[in-house]
């Protein structure tokens, strides 16, 4: 029987485990995929918006040669921190259910079961893409994640969306001479696009180097084309690959399954902001789960602070 099990091995989950260890709470971290599963699936050349000190956990300095860390820097740093604190991390175990018992919970994974007095959900939102809901979205040449440019060389690629992931993918593919077309439902680029890439993407669009259709919706994806509705005009664009980079959301279905109530309007789970505890006593949420559908309000920078608050709340219950 553990004092606490943390689900999710991202920076927020690791921070929760570290803070639990500091308070002598027995714990393990469980993840369905790789270590730092979300960051692992980020674009290989991605640069973080934040400076390294804002990504630090466990009072371990994050030192790099440049101003802003890249994906590879973060992967090395968080692994080094996990090793320093000797965190017990169990990977490739998908949590299928959390069952309330008389004392604590049974956490059922696809490999084994664990017993715990408390659970912290730090699963983020990157595993659950926002779907377009159109015919053909499940075709094999459609992806909701962009990682590497080489697989798209000599292809015609449609990028759906205009937030950071879409813009960075478009710019990198452009530099590999990939034929790209951007499609976005709004009239302009997303407001949260990183300031240092904004002039670049604007210039490429204005110079017609990256053809773009704003105020447009995807109506259907075919094996070799995409049909869009652009200002009441139906257009068919050739496409060898489609990158549907329209954002992500928390796993609301799973949270409902285990008994967590979710506000219908905001999609924020019912929880105590002073402790992180949900309406299910003993189950806590950390990181972007606390923001509901407005996932862009909580990042590593502020989500990493949730671990200490939750660990103290659990310790006080003893």
Give the tens place of pLDDT for each residue, 164-208: 889 999 999 999 999 999 999 999 998 878 888 899 999 999 999
Query: Average per-residue pLDDT in the chain?
Result: 93
What's the pLDDT at 209? Answer: 95
> Comparing 298 with 79, which gets the higher pLDDT?
79
> Comparing 192 with 111, which gets the higher pLDDT?
111
Beta strands at 225-230 and 216-222: parallel, antiparallel or unpaired: antiparallel
30 and 120, same domain (yes or no): yes
What's the pLDDT at 224? Answer: 96
Tokens of 252: 């609301």
183 and 170, same domain (yes or no): yes
Domain range enclosing 78 = 4-128+248-317
Tokens of 197: 């890439």
* Domains of the chain: total: 2
Q: In the chain, which ranges are continuous DSSP H helix?
A: 11-22, 37-40, 71-84, 164-175, 198-206, 252-257, 300-303, 306-317
Secondary structure of residue 69 in the 3-state scheme: coil
- In the chain, what percentage of residues exceed pLDDT 90? 79
| Residue pLDDT, tens place only, 11-22 | 999 999 999 999
112 and 159, same domain (yes or no): no
What's the pLDDT at 317? Answer: 84
Ramachandran region, residue 124 (left: φ > 0; alpha: ψ -120 to 50; beta: rest)? left
Tokens of 42: 């980020």
Which residue(s) pair with 218 in the sheet? 228
Cα 292 to chain centroid distance, Å, stands at 13
16 and 117, same domain (yes or no): yes
Q: Among 194, 218, 244, which residue terminates a domain?
A: 244
Judge contact between 258 and 283, C-beta under 8 A: yes
Give the pLDDT band of residue 231 (cuts 50, 70, 90). Answer: confident
Q: Is the pLDDT of residue 128 over 90?
A: no
Q: Measured between alpha carbons, how far is 84 from 21 in angstroms, rounded to an integer?
A: 12
Domain assignment of residue 55, yes or no: yes
Q: Among 211, 244, 277, which residue terminates a domain?
A: 244
Which of 63-72, 79-88, 163-172, 283-292 is predicted most confidently? 79-88
Q: Among 196, 218, 244, which residue terminates a domain?
A: 244
Q: Is the pLDDT of residue 295 over 80?
A: no
Tokens of 269: 């789970």
Q: Is the pLDDT of residue 318 over 80?
A: no
59 and 153, same domain (yes or no): no
- pTM for the whole structure: 0.88
Which of 19-28, 299-308, 309-318 is predicted most confidently? 19-28
């Amino acid at each position: 029987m553990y004092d606490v099990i943390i689900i999710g091995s991202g920076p927020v989950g690791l921070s929760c485990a570290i803070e639990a260890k500091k308070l002598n709470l027995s714990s393990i971290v469980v993840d369905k995929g790789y270590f730092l599963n979300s960051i692992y699936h980020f674009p290989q050349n991605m640069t973080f918006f934040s400076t390294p000190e804002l990504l630090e956990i466990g009072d371990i300095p994050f030192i790099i040669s440049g101003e802003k860390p890249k994906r590879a820097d973060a992967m090395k740093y968080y692994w080094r921190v996990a090793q320093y604190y000797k965190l017990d991390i169990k990977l490739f175990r998908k949590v299928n259910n959390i069952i309330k018992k008389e004392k604590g919970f049974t956490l059922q994974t696809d490999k084994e079961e664990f017993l715990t007095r408390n659970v912290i959900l730090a699963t983020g939102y990157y595993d659950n893409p926002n779907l377009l809901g159109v015919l053909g979205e499940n075709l094999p040449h459609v992806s909701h994640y962009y990682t590497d440019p080489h697989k798209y060389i000599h292809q015609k690629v449609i990028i759906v969306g205009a937030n950071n992931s879409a813009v960075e993918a478009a710019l990198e593919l452009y530099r590999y001479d990939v034929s790209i077309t951007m499609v976005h439902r709004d009239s302009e680029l997303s407001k949260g696009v990183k300031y240092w890439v904004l002039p670049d993407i604007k210039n490429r669009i204005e110079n017609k180097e990256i053809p773009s259709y704003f105020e447009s919706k995807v109506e259907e994806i075919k094996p070799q084309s995409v049909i869009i509705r652009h200002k009441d005009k139906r257009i068919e664009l050739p496409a060898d690959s489609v990158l549907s980079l329209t954002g992500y959301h928390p796993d609301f279905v799973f949270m409902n399954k285990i008994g967590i109530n979710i506000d219908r309007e905001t999609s924020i789970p019912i929880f105590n902001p002073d402790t992180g505890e949900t309406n299910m006593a003993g189950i806590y949420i950390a990181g972007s789960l606390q923001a509901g559908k407005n996932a862009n309000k909580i990042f590593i920078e502020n989500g990493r602070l949730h671990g200490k608050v939750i660990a103290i709340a659990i310790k006080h219950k003893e």
